[in-house]
Amino acid sequence: MTQYGIVLGGGGAKGSYEIGVWKALLELNVPICAVVGTSVGALNGAIMAQGDFDSAYRLWTTLDMQSVINLENNVFSDAKQLSLKELIPAARKIIENRGLDITPLRQMLLKYINESAVRRSPMDFGLVTFSLTDFKPVTVFKDQIPEGLLIDYLLASASLPGFQPLEIDSKRFIDGGIYDNIPISLMLQKGVKDIIVVDVSGIGRVRRINTKGLNIKYIKNSDPLCGTLEFNGDACSEGISMGYLDALKSFGVYEGKRYYIKTSSEDVRLSCPLSREELSILDSMLDLKENSAASNKIISYPLLRTIHKYAKGKLSSKNLVQAAAEITAEVFDVNRLREYTWDELVEEIMQSYNVIKAESTSASSTNILSSLLLSRKAEDIELLDLKSLSILYTDFTAKDVNSKLYRKLMAIFLPKVCIANIFLSLMLWRIRSE
């Protein structure tokens, strides 16, 4: 079985994502022969090498600012609500102290990382830091780190700009991201060619390498993660969930562009391919047969371009409906970070639709159409309630002028809303036809 080397990128609090990826790799029984990392990737890599997922999960889900930075020196009166008025004196104190004091981070690492376990592990471990004293990068594996100095080297790799530089043997070190934030090159030093790269979109330099002959699987956050210094248990828990689901999708456990759909789902009921009758109705919903070729291009191009971004492979009556389901789920803010079948995703959409339908104001469709026609700036359109727009004119077989005009306007200005509207109309029609 293929033995993988794991490369973990730097990114501060974004590193929670890497723990989610690790959880997925454990569930999939992916063999790991080595792990390397920069900054927070080095910290996570050390815990991964010692094989203690539970400790890593506990660390990240209970994390707060006080766990990383010493706030007792009154640098900030309230780390959660730092005002502009406090920023100037705070910056002055940081400069006087040569950076933020990360003694709490050292204490946390001493609590969670067992140097002996890391050294005994059959999994190799390496990291990147940068020597300010010698002004050059330092790349080391565990057998090159002197006994008792593992925590020091980890802190050296994770000394973000603004933190107090770490000193080892009278040499000052700073975050390894200044040299290589995703150190694939360390794997090449060990001759590992099957590599899983975890990129958390952290700030830092990424050095190019020759990937010829390498089998590299990239796993990258599918949505923006929390801020680099947003050390918050709730935000980090969300990062773990995203890393877990993204990793499973990268190994083919899920399909879908934005959502996580079980590929082993039973036959779907509501999200099955379009029938010939439904395709014919779709044509009439936008008057495509009656429009000129130029008009059809203006209307259909934004819709097809949007659909293609969500569809896998060549468009078919099946993946067109699936792509529309994901687009509609996004419009309705359906929770993305969980597993679905296609039918479960559609059910979530319809539940959201029913709630919005019940709560919607009595604003007339004519007024909304007028607002769209009179909009002169993109900002005017962006202020519109997309969910409420999506539930207008949801009679799948309606042929009135207003419903067609509405969909044409949506297709041009807000294609996702148009797609969501058509999808809802289709689903409601199918439900009523059962």
Mean pLDDT of the 277-296 span? 74
* DSSP type of residue 12: G
Mean pLDDT of the 333-341 span? 96
Choose the most confident range, by mean pLDDT, from 74-78, 233-237, 292-296.
Answer: 233-237
Amino acid residing at 159: S
Contacts of 24 (CB under 8 A, 6+ apart): 243, 244, 245, 247, 248, 251
* DSSP type of residue 182: S
The predicted structure's pLDDT at residue 93: 58
Q: What is the pLDDT of residues 23-46, one digit of tens each?
A: 999 999 999 999 999 999 999 999
Contacts of 397 (CB under 8 A, 6+ apart): 281, 429
Average pLDDT, the chain: 87
* φ, ψ of residue 99 in degrees (nearest 5): 120, 175
From residue 158, alpha-carbon distances to 109, 164, 165, 226, 232 in Å are: 12, 11, 10, 17, 18
Query: Cα(11)–Cα(16) distance, rounded to whole angstroms?
Result: 9
Mean pLDDT of the 290-319 span? 85
Which residues are 7's β-sheet partners? 36, 197
The predicted structure's pLDDT at residue 369: 57
Q: Residue 10 belongs to what H/E stretch?
A: none
Amino acid residing at 39: S
Query: Cα(69)–Cα(429) distance, rounded to whole angstroms?
Result: 57
Confidence band of 80 (pLDDT split at 50, 70, 90) = very low
SS (H, E, C) 206-231: CCCCCCCCCEEEEEECCCCCCCCCCC
Closest by alpha carbon to 398, among 299, 295, 284? 284
Amino acid residing at 396: F
Contacts of 134 (CB under 8 A, 6+ apart): 171
Choose the most confident range, by mean pLDDT, from 208-212, 242-246, 287-291.
Answer: 242-246
- The CB density around residue 195, as the number of other CB atoms within 10 Å, is 20
The predicted structure's pLDDT at residue 5: 98
Cβ proximity of 414 and 383 under 8 Å: no
Query: Residue 163: is its pLDDT beyond 80?
Result: yes
* φ, ψ of residue 217 in degrees (nearest 5): -110, 120
Query: Residue 194: is its pLDDT beyond 90?
Result: yes
Tokens 């010939």 identify what position?
A: 276
Query: Residue 235: is its pLDDT beyond 80?
Result: yes
The predicted structure's pLDDT at residue 276: 87
Tokens 């296609």 identify what position?
A: 342
Query: Cα(321)–Cα(243) distance, rounded to whole angstroms?
Result: 27
* DSSP type of residue 146: P
Mean pLDDT of the 147-162 span? 94
The predicted structure's pLDDT at residue 246: 98
Mean pLDDT of the 51-66 span? 94
The predicted structure's pLDDT at residue 382: 52
Cβ proximity of 285 and 425 under 8 Å: yes
Contacts of 116 (CB under 8 A, 6+ apart): none
The predicted structure's pLDDT at residue 73: 55
The predicted structure's pLDDT at residue 291: 64
* φ, ψ of residue 112 in degrees (nearest 5): -100, -20
Query: Cα(385)–Cα(391) distance, rounded to whole angstroms?
Result: 11
Query: Cα(28)–Cα(18) distance, rounded to whole angstroms?
Result: 15
Mean pLDDT of the 405-409 span? 83
Query: Residue 398: is its pLDDT beyond 60?
Result: yes
Helix runs in 113-170, H state only = 115-120, 150-157
* φ, ψ of residue 231 in degrees (nearest 5): -80, 90
DSSP codes, 71-90: -TTSS-S-TTS--HHHHHHH
Residue 55 half-sphere exposure toward CB, CA atoms < 13 A? 17
The predicted structure's pLDDT at residue 94: 58
The predicted structure's pLDDT at residue 407: 85
Confidence band of 290 (pLDDT split at 50, 70, 90) = low
